[in-house]
Structure 1
Amino acid sequence: MPTSTLTGTVRVLGEPGDRYDEILTPEALDFIGRLDAAFSARRFELLAERRRCAERIASGVPLDFPRATAAVRADPDWRVAAPGPGLTDRRVEITGPPERRMAVNALNSGARVWMADFEDATSPTWENVIGGQLTLLDAVERRIDFTTPEGKEYRLREDDELATVVVRPRGWHLVEKHLVVDERPVPAALVDFGLYFFHCARRQIEAGRGPYFYLPKLENRYEARLWNDVFVLAQDLLGIPRGTVRATVLIETLTAAFEMEEILYELRAHSAGLNAGRWDYLFSLIKNLGHRPDFVLPDRAKVTMTAPFMRAYTELLVRTCHRRGAHAIGGMAAQVPGRDAAADEAARSKVGLDKEREAEDGFDGSWVAHPGLVPVCRAVFDEVLGDRPHQLERTRDDVEVTAAELLSVRRTSGRPTQEGVRANVAVALRYFDAWLRGQGAVALGGLMEDAATAEIARVQIWQWLRHGLVSGETVREIVADEAAALGKEYPWARVDEVVALFERTALERELPAFFTTDAYARHLTFKAEALA
């Protein structure tokens, strides 16, 4: 593992704000600098390997389970670490941005875990990044109570049943341009992880919990190994025993699905399991194989978890986790309870059926996006688990998944509908507008949309155009209609910027890997004078 020799000083280019000095202390910046010095070069190499891998897949090299790691998969004896304090029972997890109101609601919700999301549910403005760290610090200190200007009070419960905090930093592909070393931006993953770990790791340990993380967008075992080395160095630098960190990896990329066991193996001293990040998984499938006509997907609403390739993915995940003593956590229920009684009941029923399938398949818990759905998810898992904290004993030895089954998309393929095209355009434009204005999780049409669902929306449009299933003229007409509707609905909307972003990321011949990298660089960064 690299040493922690500091080669440069982290400079702050973001504007100062209220209480920012509590987060951006000299000691915290030095800690970030040491992580950056140890791991930035390796991160850069792994991102280059991502591009090479994508080129190999595009050239026709078939995806399969790695032969080089067959011994790891065949070895029946290794196991991941035991669950950390507060992570034994994970039957309901709630996700959302690290914003004060969300934090109070999530911690009070009755969920066992709150996943504080700097990745898909946060628009990474400088205010949101540092404000999110302040939210987490105040939550750990139990001083997050506040009253809105309208007089509504948000207070933490007095009991000890608050959700366990698990932080999702941004992925390896993103940078934080407001913190630089020698004019080079620091990897956003190290910023989000490092600031939380520096300020809250020991506090969480003293509170009977620990520094816990969700790791997004990993594509292979080497990226998991990088995270493991980050954990080891961070613990050493702060004098925290190795193995204190716990991390759950989201299996949300196609290539990672072929290396689930290897990812657990690399993180085994720090692993808390795997999560079925199903929305990003569909996004990744289109990114990697969307150029092929046999991988065309229909409207995203029609790609359910009962599709053969999605069943293969989730059943393999449960089997892999339970074979190694790790939690398997189900996917997001994005429904938002509404005021219309019939629509609300329909949403709850749909969520209940989804969670029943997961619990019966062997998952140990699952995600919801709204506090109102916590009781629905909890009731389902209570029925299956009873007094047990999980069902790790269900090793699912009956499951055998082949590479062909993970890629059996043809049986789910189909042509898009006019309604599906319009729905994707509408979601993408509205979400892009909210994201550019600093909002990363948005309720649209009864669903909580985030960056993952917006990514699916725009890459499906790209795929359908690529294969001539919809015309460019039709798409542009719909874009114009939905842009006009957006401007009418929200007079403050940044319509021209939103349309330009959509055109760059969905309508060009070459598909950008993420809309967030383009939008962040163009719209969410600024430079003030470097702070002393």
Structure 2
Amino acid sequence: MTSAPLKLKPAAQELVAELHRQLRTRWEALDAPEQPAPATPPNYQAAALPDDLKGRRVELIVEASDTGALDAALNSDADALVLDFDDTFAPTLENVRTAYGAVETAAKSDKPILARPRALYALEEHLDFGGPAIAAFCDLGVILAARPEEPMHIYIPKLETVQEAQLWEDVLALAETHLGLERNAVKVCVQIETYAACLHADALLYALHGRAFGLNAGRWDYVFSLTKRVGATRGAMPPRHDLTMDLDAMRAYAEVLVRVCEVRGAQAIGGSAAVAPSADNPQTTLDAVRADKRREAAQGFVAAWAGLPMLLDSVRGAFEGEPSQPLPAETAGRTLERLLDLPVPRPLALNVVQDSIGLALAVFEAWYDGRGVVVRNGRIEDTATAELARAQLWQWVRCEAEIEGGDKLTPDRYRSERRALAQDSTAQARLLDHLVLAPVCPEYFPRAAQLLNQHLLQPQEATI
């Protein structure tokens, strides 16, 4: 790796270097093929809710390098902001540099700030700490060093195992020691957005319970993870538009979070309202957002995210009123049955396949161009929805899903449909082919894209 073109401020540089020195070996061990199953947690209670988050109903998510959106958000009436380095963030050199500067701007605000660093799988290619920089360590170091006297709260993304949760706990504890803070000064909300995390939500919360005040639902990341889990063991997974939160399997996922929070005294935070109302008729979309968030409120969630300032009132209004009643008890066996009780496979409409290809290509093209978000057909699309689209395409190709009319979605048919939308030579086509035609579904596309760019992976070829 060449000398790093990205410079951190001295306080952040020292903290990030310390995190790498002390914990790189632990991070490397996360890839061990066998991780022990988590033990049943003892009786415990989650951390108390931070004072500045009491009464908040809506958090406005802002892509970390979008300084215009950050300025607007800081001047909005959002109850809190989520400064995002994960699903909405494209980690180009300029974006990382700008985002780290934006952290300094956010740190000067009196508005409650929750920052979401990148997940543990990601590397920061523009920094080197005795080896490739771990992006989560870099982001976290910059975030905490910007305002150590009043640390920003942290969203922890994409957990799979208790070992990962314990690593985050140790990273945060080491950062607190380095900055001279009391233990558990940094408060966190744990995102439950993988199938494994859903199964072990209580154990994950317990691993961080001295500082963790809540669990957050990320539905599209969860379905992406579920699709990888199901693989080709069944016929075609339902398309995205059939995986609404009214589906019992998706209700079961949401209820896992709420039940854990009810027992452990934590907050359940709902997903993101990620739609873009049309200028001509915004009310229809705003009404749909409010209805979706009312459903979450009825389940036991107390707040949720908004993807745009114009959605704030609709999200906030849905959570005002009397608290919901506790959910009825359910056995672990019954919950597992519900989580996997997906609709019976049926033939796919060709336009659904084409739309999934188009969505992934559009996000990948924007991501390579340094934009982590695109608005497409009235929806805010980002890494999470692109991951879902490409995983579903992988699953459909692996099981050669039937297309309405009798054709099969073979690798060659996929390639034909993709070529109608993007030439083979484009970066986004090369990446999508690698992800869709791989024998095993790759974990996360940003890392696959880095490896392809370094020529460490070869794009998959269609079979003849």
Preserved CA contact (<8 Å) 2:249 2:342: no
Partner of 2:306: 368
- Give the counterpart of 2:427 among 488, 494, 497: 497
Preserved CA contact (<8 Å) 1:280 1:456: yes
Q: Which moved more, 1:350-359 or 1:81-90?
A: 81-90
Matched, 1:244 2:185: yes
Preserved CA contact (<8 Å) 2:250 2:339: no
- Give the counterpart of 1:332 among 263, 272, 283: 272
- Give the counterpart of 1:129 among 89, 92, 96: 96
- Give the counterpart of 1:300 among 240, 247, 255: 240
Preserved CA contact (<8 Å) 1:254 1:285: yes
Partner of 2:461: none
Q: 1:166 is paired with a residue of what secondary structure?
A: strand
Partner of 1:289: 230
Kindly tell me the number of residue pairs found equivalent between the two proteins.
446
- 1:125-524 aligned at under 5 Å gives the runs 125-142=92-109, 162=111, 164-182=112-130, 184-202=131-149, 205=150, 210-293=151-234, 296-341=236-281, 344-384=282-322, 394-402=325-333, 403-411=335-343, 413-469=345-401, 470-483=409-422, 496-523=426-453
Q: 1:356 is paired with a residue of what secondary structure?
A: helix
Preserved CA contact (<8 Å) 1:458 1:506: yes
Residues 94 and 355 of structure 1: is their aligned pair in 2 closer, same or farther, counting only changes over 3 Å?
A: same
After superposition, what is the alpha-carbon deviation per residue over 1:85-106, rounded to whole angstroms, capped at 9, x for unaligned? Answer: 3122331112131121121222
Preserved CA contact (<8 Å) 2:192 2:216: yes
Partner of 1:529: none
| Counterpart AA for 2:428 | V
Once the two structures are TM-superposed, the CA of residue 47 in structure 1 deviates from its matched residue by: 2.4
Matched, 1:13 2:6: no
Q: 1:274 is paired with a residue of what secondary structure?
A: strand
In 1, the alpha carbon distance for the partners of 2:344 and 2:115 equals 34
After superposition, what is the alpha-carbon deviation per residue over 1:498-529, rounded to whole angstroms, capped at 9, x for unaligned? Answer: 1111111112333211111021344599xxxx
Residues 495 and 365 of structure 1: is their aligned pair in 2 closer, same or farther, counting only changes over 3 Å?
A: farther
| Counterpart AA for 1:42 | R
- 1:79-90 aligned at under 5 Å gives the runs 79-90=45-56
Once the two structures are TM-superposed, the CA of residue 107 in structure 1 deviates from its matched residue by: 2.6
Preserved CA contact (<8 Å) 2:103 2:146: no
Once the two structures are TM-superposed, the CA of residue 397 in structure 1 deviates from its matched residue by: 4.5
In 2, the alpha carbon distance for the partners of 1:366 and 1:317 equals 13
Residues 414 and 517 of structure 1: is their aligned pair in 2 closer, same or farther, counting only changes over 3 Å?
A: same
After superposition, what is the alpha-carbon deviation per residue over 1:373-430, rounded to whole angstroms, capped at 9, x for unaligned? Answer: 1110111111345xxxxx7xx5435444535335323336443221210110111111
Q: 1:288 is paired with a residue of what secondary structure?
A: helix
In 2, the alpha carbon distance for the partners of 1:80 and 1:461 equals 39
Q: TM-score, normalised by structure 2?
A: 0.90
In 1, the alpha carbon distance for the partners of 2:322 and 2:348 equals 37
In 2, the alpha carbon distance for the partners of 1:523 and 1:274 equals 35
Preserved CA contact (<8 Å) 2:191 2:218: yes
| Counterpart AA for 1:223 | E
Preserved CA contact (<8 Å) 1:125 1:524: no
Q: 2:81 is paired with a residue of what secondary structure?
A: strand
RMSD: 2.3
| Counterpart AA for 1:405 | E
In 2, the alpha carbon distance for the partners of 1:278 and 1:495 equals 33
After superposition, what is the alpha-carbon deviation per residue over 1:28-50, rounded to whole angstroms, capped at 9, x for unaligned? Answer: 2121111111111111111224x
Q: TM-score, normalised by structure 1?
A: 0.79
Residues 332 and 413 of structure 1: is their aligned pair in 2 closer, same or farther, counting only changes over 3 Å?
A: farther
In 1, the alpha carbon distance for the partners of 2:29 and 2:102 equals 33
In 2, the alpha carbon distance for the partners of 1:362 and 1:444 equals 31
- Give the counterpart of 1:108 among 62, 66, 75: 75
In 1, the alpha carbon distance for the partners of 2:283 and 2:10 equals 52
After superposition, what is the alpha-carbon deviation per residue over 1:419-470, rounded to whole angstroms, capped at 9, x for unaligned? Answer: 2101101111111000001001111111111101000111111111111112
In 2, the alpha carbon distance for the partners of 1:212 and 1:450 equals 23
In 1, the alpha carbon distance for the partners of 2:205 and 2:73 equals 28
Please, which runs of 5 or more residues in structure 1 have no aligned partner? Answer: 1-10, 57-65, 143-159, 386-390, 485-493, 526-532
Residues 300 and 256 of structure 1: is their aligned pair in 2 closer, same or farther, counting only changes over 3 Å?
A: same
| Counterpart AA for 1:499 | A
| Counterpart AA for 2:51 | P
Residues 12 and 29 of structure 1: is their aligned pair in 2 closer, same or farther, counting only changes over 3 Å?
A: farther
In 1, the alpha carbon distance for the partners of 2:425 and 2:246 equals 37
| Counterpart AA for 1:185 | P
Q: 2:275 is paired with a residue of what secondary structure?
A: coil
In 2, the alpha carbon distance for the partners of 1:446 and 1:221 equals 37
Once the two structures are TM-superposed, the CA of residue 108 in structure 1 deviates from its matched residue by: 2.9
Q: 2:291 is paired with a residue of what secondary structure?
A: helix
Partner of 1:69: 39
Preserved CA contact (<8 Å) 2:187 2:213: yes
Preserved CA contact (<8 Å) 2:360 2:386: yes
Preserved CA contact (<8 Å) 1:319 1:399: no
Once the two structures are TM-superposed, the CA of residue 109 in structure 1 deviates from its matched residue by: 3.0
Partner of 1:157: none
Once the two structures are TM-superposed, the CA of residue 201 in structure 1 deviates from its matched residue by: 2.7
Preserved CA contact (<8 Å) 2:148 2:179: no
Q: 2:310 is paired with a residue of what secondary structure?
A: helix
Structure having greater relative contact order (Cα 8 Å, sep ≥ 6): 1
Residues 105 and 169 of structure 1: is their aligned pair in 2 closer, same or farther, counting only changes over 3 Å?
A: same
Preserved CA contact (<8 Å) 1:128 1:438: yes
| Counterpart AA for 1:106 | A
Once the two structures are TM-superposed, the CA of residue 198 in structure 1 deviates from its matched residue by: 1.3
After superposition, what is the alpha-carbon deviation per residue over 1:325-350, rounded to whole angstroms, capped at 9, x for unaligned? Answer: 11100112211112231xx3332222
In 2, the alpha carbon distance for the partners of 1:316 and 1:331 equals 14
| Counterpart AA for 2:302 | D
In 2, the alpha carbon distance for the partners of 1:178 and 1:284 equals 28
Residues 412 and 89 of structure 1: is their aligned pair in 2 closer, same or farther, counting only changes over 3 Å?
A: farther
In 2, the alpha carbon distance for the partners of 1:178 and 1:300 equals 35
